[in-house]
Amino acid sequence: MSQFQFVMRSGPTPGVTFPLEGDQILIGRDASNGVAINDAEISRKHSRLSFQGGKYVLEDLGSTNGTFVNGQRLAGPVVLKPGDVISLGEQIVLMYDAINIDPGATVAVSRKAVRVEPPPIQASAPAYTPPPASYGPPSTPVVKKTNLTPIIIGVGALLFICMCAGFFFWVDATYRWCIFFPFISGC
């Protein structure tokens, strides 16, 4: 017989174990949830676990910061497997574990979270990569806007200088100095 639990890897209380009991377990910031995690990144009713066919199924309840399983944001219900890494937002990381229990043993279970030191992470296990900082559809690359005012002023000044030079060249080439500039001596 197996019992399931979450072990908090990172968040407000690392090492805390949350025994999972029942057919429907809500996860969120609200104290009435079966798994209550008091953190600003967590929605009041963040996600839900449903026990179906001897396995827990996790689904996001429209949370603001998202629910992730092994780095992938949930788009629908996902069946959990022992060893799965569940992330709620960017900072809260839970490890999903199955505990084998001797059916003949007497077990006292508390509904409260119990602090347990997390087992060391094995070197052969792949390192956890947190989900990307931004959520939602992939964003387009950020385009840096350039201030065009100095460019426009520079092009305008250059155009003005070229027009003036062209005008004076034409006046000089056609001997029209006295027509355009009668105040010049010698006209």
Q: What is the pLDDT of residues 13-41, one digit of tens each?
A: 899 999 998 899 999 999 999 999 999 88
How confident is the model at residue 184, as a pLDDT? 75
**pLDDT of 123 higher than 60:** no
**pLDDT of 135 higher than 80:** no
| Exposure b/e, 69-83, CB count within 10 A at least 16 = b | beeeebeeebebeee
How confident is the model at residue 148, as a pLDDT? 86
DSSP secondary structure letter of residue 39: -
In whole angstroms, what is the distance from residue 93 CA to residue 10 CA? 5
CB 15 within 8 A of CB 118: yes
Q: Backbone dihedral region of 11: left (phi > 0), alpha (psi from -120 to 50 degrees) or beta?
A: left
Which amino acid is present at 53? G
**pLDDT of 116 higher than 60:** no
How confident is the model at residue 114, as a pLDDT? 55
Least confident of 80-89, 134-143, 155-164: 134-143
pLDDT band for 48, please (50, 70, 90 cuts).
very high
How confident is the model at residue 179, as a pLDDT? 82
3-state secondary structure of 25: strand
Per the DSSP assignment, residues forming a β-bridge with 73 are 68
Share of the chain above pLDDT 90, in %: 47
Residues in the chain: 187
How confident is the model at residue 176, as a pLDDT? 82
> Rg of the chain's alpha carbons, rounded to an integer?
35
How confident is the model at residue 1, as a pLDDT? 46
CA 153 to chain centroid, in Å, comes to 42
- Model-wide pTM > 0.75: no
3-state secondary structure of 111: coil
CA-closest candidate to residue 16, choices 46, 36, 40, 43? 36
Q: Which helix (H) or strand (E) segment is 116 a member of?
A: none
The mean predicted confidence, pLDDT, of the chain is 82
